[in-house]
Amino acid sequence: MQDLTISLDNRPGALADMGDALGRAGVSIEGGGAWVVDGKGAAHFLFEDGEAARRALEAGGIRVLAVRDVLVQRLNQGQPGQLGKITRRMAEAGVNIEVPYSDHDHQLILVVDDIAKGRAVSEAWTRENAAPDRK
């Protein structure tokens, strides 16, 4: 899974243009969102194939700023504090979380500054928090 950082115009129809470009290419969005910051549109969306998404968007005249691997983590939604615990673990390892969001399968998606360190933390978290019957 890969996150694309996308620059969108802050105008009606910009998100529709993005969706149309992806649809024409048969590329599905797996999660993410878009915001206006300081009058400019910024988006982070998750794709199974980031390069295919990049090609589709650029063919539609939409600027892609970055394609990056992500961490995908399933949290125990029934246990309060999960987000704080895993993000604290990332911080203690020196991993800066640049963008957090959810995918369509209710998993936590993290775009981080150091994917190797982040992956080590995420894998340890998964091992430590696996259901007893899966250990």
For the chain, what are the domain ranges?
A: 2-69, 71-134
Q: Residue 38, Cβ neighbours under 10 Å: how many?
A: 6
* Nearby residues of 83 by Cβ (< 8 Å), 6 or more positions away: 75, 108
CA distances from 13 to 17, 52, 96, 124 (A): 6, 22, 33, 42
CATH code for the domain defined by 2-69: 3.30.70.260
Fold of 71-134: Alpha-Beta Plaits (3.30.70)
Hey, do 2-69 and 71-134 end up sharing a CATH topology, with the first three levels equal? Answer: yes
- The tens digit of pLDDT for each residue in 4-23 reads 999 999 999 999 999 999 99
pLDDT given for residue 134 in this prediction:
46
pLDDT (average), residues 97-116: 96
pLDDT (average), residues 92-115: 96
pLDDT band at 65 (very low <50, low <70, confident <90, very high): very high
In the sheet with 31-37, reading across from the earlier edge strand, the strands are 31-37, 40-47, 2-8, 63-69
Q: Based on the number of CB atoms within 10 Å of its own CB, is 69 exposed (0-12), middle (13-18) or buried (19 or more)?
A: middle
pLDDT given for residue 76 in this prediction:
87
Flag whether pLDDT at 130 surpasses 50: yes
Q: Are 109 and 71 in contact (CB under 8 A)?
A: yes
Whole-prediction pTM: 0.89
pLDDT given for residue 42 in this prediction:
93
